[in-house]
Amino acid sequence: MTVGYKDLRHNPAYTRPQMPDEEFLRTMLDLDRPELAEAAAKLHEGNVSGARDAYLEIIASGNTGRYYFDVRDVPGLMAYAANSYSQEEEAKQDIAEADRIAEGDIPLFKGKRVVFPKGTYDWNSWLYDSSQYQLHLTRFVYVKRLARAYALTGDEKYAKCFNDMMSHFIDDNPMPVDGTFRAEHSTWDPLSVGVRLFMLPEAFITFFSSPSFEPEVKLKLIKSFHEHGQYVRKYHATHGNHVCMQLRGLIQTALLLPELKDSAEWLEYGMREMPGYIRQNVYPDGVQFEGSPNYHLVVMRDLYELVALFHKLGIAAGEYQEILENMFVVMMHLLAPDGQLVKFGDTDQQVASELRNVMSLGAYLYQRSDFKALGHERLPFSLIWRVGPEAVENYNQLKAEDPAETAACFPAGGYLTSRQGWKHTDMYMAMRAGVGVGGHAHSDALSLVLYAGGRELLADSGMGLFEWNKERKYVVSTRAHNTVVVDGQDQHVRSFHWNTPATAACRIWDFQTNEQYDYTFASHYGYTRYDDPVVHSRKVLFVKNSYWLIVDLFEAKGQHRYEQYFHLPPGGVAYDCCTGEVSTQLEDANLLLVHPSAGQEMDQLSVEPGLVFKQGNYYDHPVVKRSLAAAGRTVIATLAVPFGAAKPKVIIERLPVQKNGVELSAVDATALRIVMEDRVDEICLYHNSFNVEGYLDHTGNIIAEALLPRKIEPEALEFAGAAYSQDVIVIPSRTV
């Protein structure tokens, strides 16, 4: 039996109750501040409740900028929200959700809920099959629903719910005396503590003048903010997204409660340390380093919440401004046509309207029309709590324009994207070709996802729940992604769940975009750990706006087994063993995969079941698996063709290609004639422009950038009756 915080939380050897009001007011407030003179005088008289009320009145007066809005701004916000947003869907959802919460029906995440009869909260039960649910219960993301419903309706039941909830939680979850529980998933794990520091202030300020928010509970919550600040200051993380959330919470608390003696030091510390941790998290190209678009958004949220707060309070945002804008650009390109973030690493399906809210905030902060094109036409209801009603007219006048770029390469973070355009039905490809650091990255180097017709046609298997079970082990594995497994092993060897080494080293060698095609070329080095090292490279050619040609290359000396996986959406699949074609059988948007022969005796194609994770549940879906054994350099080509209801007829022929009069083999150049419907394309991808094996030195370490192999364009490449000195040749023809 494991004994932890939930069993020991009322044991005085492990936790301590809050300070009495008098001790807190006398020792933790900076009573030398002029505005606290009345509170100090009341304490001197022995009038503790009077001193408390004098302090609370300072907060209520709104004379010190503490938050995105002050207590005295709340009546105006309430009137504006009710008059301007009460009929908006987001506002209606807030009211509906708040009504359930007030009855003890609390949302967690991924659609799960927990129901407590009124006043019988149980904060320390392990709910469902994952501790993640219990953690979300006590991070209080949902209390903003209560505050916003109160603003829309003025109904005191929401304030009463918040009052009772906070009072019960604080009494039932006293602060640990030391760091005993900081490595445990409990109500006082340092991440949850940091999250509460920035989740609770909105309701704290919104309800502050409500008669249902009792003075005793207000001070109890202020004392809890102080305890939380002390805990985060002492036990915050030193890397990853956790430290950004924790220091953001510390900074916000110091600004929220400047009368605390500790606040000045917290603010100085947080403002000094946070930039370094942001630089640790975010590469120069704007990508967060964990190999997960979701955690890119998490760290980006810390920045945009701080930048919006700094703007409100007249604090210089400094280098955050540029870093945040770069992160918005990355997110813009990682938003798939369905409005979701591509699901690399630990990324799950999200609420599309909330992602649009994020882009709306970026549009307002940077006055960027392209960001607004991915946001809302009107400033969303949720953003008036960050930028105020005064921002509405400015935002609404900003004209939305589709981004100019339809392809993007982020070489440090390792994302490559390519799209037909910015419509919901347009073709889209994203590929992972970078190192992911920490447990949120999967073994997914060179994995790609494809969209067309408003549907994800090549899917990622998703994040899974953070439990170290067989399902989670599957979704982080290489075979759960649209890439290639070599000799049955994952690209990188994971250790314990979170303390895992970085994923396979990657290099993006080439990225080209023009009116005819987008082209990407990248390699990964996870399999160079073998006695006979294997370098896997992938080229993706998007022939606009028709199909993708995917070419996998393997540099090796001996024989290896290659297993290529393509994960299809749930539904029917047709497999033609004679032609090597596999196609989905969905209603309105489908994908055809064509597998030309690789010239190997052992080359098998099959369809097997796989797992995909969405919103807390695992589902079966079909997976196309191609297995072959080959020695030496090997090339595998795959054609991916999106279609509607009628599957197109596709014919692929190999074409000759020569260099300096000598015919090249199939492993030196992929030269194809692709006949499809009313078009014929002749394509040649030359494979010797880069010495991909030169990325690592003889010790297995990455060599210096200045010494990396440079591109060598082919000379006198003879293809389709003409001579070329380029490694990508696309000759389109519209007539058969």
**Which tens digits make up the pLDDT trace of 251-284?**
999 999 999 999 999 999 999 999 999 999 999 9
**Which tens digits make up the pLDDT trace of 336-366?**
999 999 999 999 999 999 999 999 999 999 9
Strand stretches in 43-133, DSSP E: 105-107, 113-115
Quote the pLDDT of residue 468.
83
Instruction: Indicate if the pLDDT at residue 670 is higher than 50.
Output: yes
Quote the pLDDT of residue 483.
98
Quote the pLDDT of residue 734.
57
Instruction: Tokens 């707060």: give the residue.
Output: 309
Query: What DSSP assignment string belongs to 183-199?
Result: TSSSTT-HHHHHHHHHH
Quote the pLDDT of residue 243.
97
The whole-number average pLDDT for the span 370-381 is 97
Quote the pLDDT of residue 736.
46
What is the Cα 12 distance to its own chain's centre?
A: 40
- What percent of the chain shows pLDDT beyond 70? 99
Where in the sequence of the chain do the CATH 2.70.98.70 domains occur?
412-645
Query: What DSSP assignment string belongs to 598-632?
Result: -S-SSEEEEEEEEEEEETTEEEEEEEEEEEEEEES
Quote the pLDDT of residue 465.
86
Please choose, from the candidates 446, 444, 448, 491, the residue with its C-alpha nearest in 3D space to the C-alpha of residue 463: 444
**What architecture is domain 412-645?**
Distorted Sandwich (2.70)
Residue 273 CB burial class (10 angstroms; 0-12, 13-18, ≥19): middle
Instruction: Indicate if the pLDDT at residue 92 is higher than 70.
Output: yes
CA gap 605, 640 in Å, rounded = 15
Q: Which residues make Cβ contacts (< 8 Å) with residue 44, sequence separation at least 6?
A: none
Confidence at 132, pLDDT banded by 50, 70, 90? confident
| Amino acid (1-letter code) at residue 610 | G
Instruction: Kindly report the average pLDDT of the chain as a whole number.
Output: 95
Quote the pLDDT of residue 598.
86
Torsion angles phi and psi, residue 333, rounded to 5: -80, -20
**Which tens digits make up the pLDDT trace of 193-232?**
999 999 999 999 999 999 999 999 999 999 999 999 999 9
Confidence at 62, pLDDT banded by 50, 70, 90? confident
Where in the sequence of the chain do the CATH 1.50.10.100 domains occur?
73-277
Give me the long-range contacts of 6-10 (CB less than 8 A, separation at least 24).
6/124, 6/186, 6/187, 9/124, 9/172, 9/173, 9/174, 9/187, 10/174
Kind and range of the H or E element at 573? strand 572-576
In this predicted model, which residue has the larger pLDDT, 600 or 586?
A: 586
Please give the CATH topology (third level) of the domain spanning 73-277.
Glycosyltransferase (1.50.10)
Quote the pLDDT of residue 159.
98
Confidence at 467, pLDDT banded by 50, 70, 90? confident
20 contacts 26 by C-beta, under 8 angstroms: no
Please choose, from the candidates 465, 449, 427, the residue with its C-alpha nearest in 3D space to the C-alpha of residue 129: 465
Quote the pLDDT of residue 213.
98
**Which tens digits make up the pLDDT trace of 289-313?**
999 999 999 999 999 999 999 999 9
Instruction: Indicate if the pLDDT at residue 56 is higher than 60.
Output: yes
The whole-number average pLDDT for the span 553-560 is 98
Confidence at 143, pLDDT banded by 50, 70, 90? very high
**Which tens digits make up the pLDDT trace of 525-551?**
999 999 999 999 999 999 999 999 999
Report how far apart, in Å, the C-alpha atoms of 533 and of each of 371, 536, 537, 555, 642 are.
44, 10, 13, 8, 35
**Which tens digits make up the pLDDT trace of 469-519?**
899 999 999 999 999 999 999 999 887 677 788 999 999 999 999 999 999
